[in-house]
């Protein structure tokens, strides 16, 4: 498979505090990469570097390079262009304060699409892809904030799908959800694999095992190990990975 994203020697610090040190890894096209690690291991910083959300934090310094389809996202692309191709689903599933329809149509509209018919098509397609269409099709005009937690998270996924990204980043997307909603979100991720490259940061090791093709383990800003899910969980090469997975720390 082709490499979608190549990260070379990536280091990040926030006002002098190291968050990530010399990370090298490649993410393959249309795979789901699970990213696990204890708190403060740098996994969220890593994720936010991939769509340049770290730009918002002025104290953040970054060295190294990230390439998307061979183009350096910090040098050869605008932040908006990067974020359109690499979108993010956040831990707190918070829709924008507007109707369900407007939430999904938000991205395409901002990128200049005003044709009502086309917007309708995109909204329906995105909601279907996020397994939400049947539950909301009769109330697209009601506020997105009235949905249940799981529905809100799937609405957030639909909203990211609507901008037709290439890569979807998930920052602990199920941390606030019950097991059934979590299962639905995971199901959506597996279905989306056909078209998208996905990176899932999670505190739930089992979730990474369930949906990840490969899993990367971060510890204290370092990438300790990255491997096929089954290999990493059964025969980790690094002792620290083994300790984390068996619950000896973290």
Residues 202, 36: contact at Cβ < 8 Å?
yes
- List the one residue out of 69, 27, 29, 70 whose CA is nearest residue 46: 27
> Phi first, then psi: what are they for 3, rounded to 5°?
-80, 125
Number of residues written out for the chain: 250
Backbone Cα Rg of the chain: 18
Tell me which of 41, 44, 45, 51 binds another protein, using CB under 8 A. Answer: 51
Rounded to a whole number of angstroms, the minimum distance from the CB of residue 129 to another protein is: 16
By beta-carbon proximity to another protein, the closer residue of 4 and 83 is: 83
Tell me which of 1, 2, 39, 56 binds another protein, using CB under 8 A. Answer: 56
- Three-class DSSP category at 232: helix
By beta-carbon proximity to another protein, the closer residue of 19 and 161 is: 161
DSSP 8-state symbol, 143: B
By beta-carbon proximity to another protein, the closer residue of 168 and 245 is: 168
Task: Please give the residues from 87 up to 106 whose contact with another protein meets the rule CB under 8 A.
Answer: 87-88, 90, 92, 94, 96-98, 106
Tell me which of 34, 37, 42, 107 binds another protein, using CB under 8 A. Answer: 107
Residue 98 in tokens: 């507007």
- In angstroms, rounded to a whole number, what is the distance separating the alpha carbons of residues 4 and 207? 23
- List the one residue out of 166, 138, 140, 172 whose CA is nearest residue 153: 172
Residue 127 in tokens: 């909601």
Rounded to a whole number of angstroms, the minimum distance from the CB of residue 52 to another protein is: 9
Residue linked to tokens 């490499």: 3
Tell me which of 67, 83, 184, 214 binds another protein, using CB under 8 A. Answer: 83
Of 26-34, 65-73, 107-115, 212-220, the window that binds another protein (rule: CB under 8 A) is 107-115
Per-residue contact string for residues 151-170; x = within reach of another protein by CB under 8 A:
-----x--xx--x-------
- In angstroms, rounded to a whole number, what is the distance separating the alpha carbons of residues 9 and 7? 7
Size of residue set near another protein by CB under 8 A: 25
Q: Which residues bind another protein (CB under 8 A)?
A: 51, 53, 56, 58, 80-81, 83-85, 87-88, 90, 92, 94, 96-98, 106-107, 110-111, 156, 159-160, 163
């Amino acid at each position: 498979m082709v490499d979608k994203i190549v990260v070379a020697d990536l280091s990040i610090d926030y006002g002098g505090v190291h968050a990530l040190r010399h990370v090298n890894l490649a993410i393959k096209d249309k795979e789901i990469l699970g990213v696990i690690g204890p708190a403060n291991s740098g996994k969220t910083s890593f994720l936010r570097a991939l769509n340049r959300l770290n730009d918002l934090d002025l104290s953040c310094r970054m060295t190294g390079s990230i390439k998307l389809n061979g183009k350096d996202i910090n040098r050869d692309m605008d932040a908006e262009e990067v974020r359109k191709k690499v979108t993010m689903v956040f831990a707190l599933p918070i829709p924008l304060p507007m109707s369900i329809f407007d939430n999904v149509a938000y991205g395409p509209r901002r990128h200049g699409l005003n044709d009502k018919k086309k917007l309708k098509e995109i909204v329906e397609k995105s909601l279907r892809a996020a397994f939400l269409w049947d539950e909301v099709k009769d109330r697209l005009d009601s506020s997105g904030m009235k949905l249940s937690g799981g529905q809100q998270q799937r609405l957030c996924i639909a909203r990211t799908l609507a901008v037709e990204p290439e890569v979807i980043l998930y920052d602990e997307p199920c941390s606030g959800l019950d097991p059934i909603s979590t299962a639905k979100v995971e199901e959506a991720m597996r279905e989306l694999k056909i078209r998208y490259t996905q990176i899932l940061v999670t505190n739930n090791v089992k979730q990474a095992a369930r949906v990840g093709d490969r899993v990367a383990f971060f510890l204290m800003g370092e990438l300790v190990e990255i491997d096929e899910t089954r290999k990493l969980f059964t025969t980790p090469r690094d002792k620290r990975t083994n300790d984390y997975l068996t619950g000896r720390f973290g």
